[in-house]
């Protein structure tokens, strides 16, 4: 029967039928079945050997795995994608989301190895800083882009976290350094819901609740930033 069908339907017909099936399964929230369909399709030589189609199937597989909360499988997809497109920030955003939800640490070595090959990649600098939770990698990114608010925020929060530890020397100096970077972050990013919330959260972590409340209230008074492609209710910090 399959041989008869393949002689009746062209490769493009099969491809369009496959896309409709994947879309339909996702519309019905049958994400696991969509994953299996993508896996089976990638074993079909006509699709696998066609690079554009193979890449599109891999993106479908990644999306279905994330929607199914199968982050281990999603990691296998996104890992290859970032290796092939190391300078695409959108892929690094997805990589970060996947590794955050997977609760695994196998990506630490991967990021370190990839950074040895791409030492000037800022996304890798920040991710390795997150993984090791030391300011060294953040500083490397900061030195080349000192006006980037995110790098100032990451360095500032690292000092705050260090100051929050039970046994630490020069706690006061760490706090001062932390807030010097957080104030730079505020001036670069500008007064908005995000910056006031982050300042309040840092003060809250240090136990300075009366000061934290001041910044939380300022955050509540402001509307969320408008970000292209993202619904406002998804980034409205007043929900927290």
Mean pLDDT of 74-96: 88
3-state secondary structure of 172: helix
Pair (62, 124) in one structural domain: no
How much of the chain, in percent, has pLDDT values that exceed 70? 90
Q: What is the pLDDT of residue 240?
A: 63
What share of the chain in percent tops pLDDT 90? 36
Banded pLDDT at 210 (limits 50, 70, 90):
very high
Residues 44 and 19 in one domain: yes
pLDDT of residue 107: 75
* Co-location of 80 and 121 in the same domain: yes
Number of domains in the chain: 2
* pLDDT tens digit sequence for 24-67: 999 999 999 999 999 988 888 878 888 888 899 999 999 999 99
Question: In this predicted structure, what is the pLDDT of residue 2?
Answer: 47
**Residue span of the structural domain in which 83 resides:** 69-132
Q: Are residues 11 and 58 in the same domain?
A: yes
For residue 202, being part of any structural domain is answered with no
Shared domain for 49 and 74, answered yes or no, is no
Q: Measured between alpha carbons, how far is 140 from 135 in angstroms, rounded to an integer? A: 9
Distances (CA, A) of 99 to 33, 35, 130, 142, 166: 23, 19, 11, 23, 28
Who has greater pLDDT, 180 or 1? 180
Please report the pLDDT score of residue 46 as a whole number: 78
Averaged over 122-131, what is the pLDDT? 70
**Mean predicted confidence (pLDDT) in 81-92:** 87
Specify if 78 maps to a domain.
yes
- The answer to whether residue 169 scores a pLDDT higher than 80 is no
**Assigned domain for 25 exists:** yes
For tokens 């003060």, what's the residue? 203
Are 77 and 63 in the same domain? no
Distances (CA, A) of 155 to 131, 172, 175, 179: 14, 16, 12, 10
CA dist., res. 228 & res. 197, Å (int): 21
Residues 61 and 74 reside in one and the same domain: no
């Amino acid at each position: 029967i399959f041989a008869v069908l393949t002689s009746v339907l062209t490769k493009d017909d099969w491809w369009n039928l496959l896309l409709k099936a994947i879309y339909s399964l996702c519309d019905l929230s049958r994400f696991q079945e969509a994953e299996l369909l993508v896996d089976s399709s990638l074993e079909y030589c006509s699709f696998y050997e066609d690079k554009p189609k193979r890449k599109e199937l891999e993106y479908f597989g990644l999306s279905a795995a994330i929607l199914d909360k199968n982050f281990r499988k999603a990691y296998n997809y996104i890992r290859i994608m970032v290796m092939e497109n190391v300078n695409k920030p959108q892929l690094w955003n997805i990589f970060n989301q996947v590794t955050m939800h997977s609760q695994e640490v196998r990506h630490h070595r991967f990021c370190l190895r990839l950074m040895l090959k791409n030492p000037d990649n800022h996304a890798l600098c920040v991710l390795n800083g997150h993984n090791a939770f030391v300011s060294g990698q953040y500083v490397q990114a900061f030195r080349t882009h000192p006006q980037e608010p995110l790098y100032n925020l990451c360095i500032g929060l690292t000092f705050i976290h260090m100051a929050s530890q039970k046994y630490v020397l020069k706690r006061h100096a760490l706090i001062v350094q932390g807030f010097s970077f957080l104030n730079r972050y505020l001036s670069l990013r500008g007064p908005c819901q995000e910056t006031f919330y982050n300042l309040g959260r840092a003060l809250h972590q240090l136990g300075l609740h009366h000061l934290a409340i001041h910044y939380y209230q300022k955050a509540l008074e402001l509307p969320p930033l408008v970000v292209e492609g993202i619904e406002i209710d998804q980034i409205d910090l007043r929900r927290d």
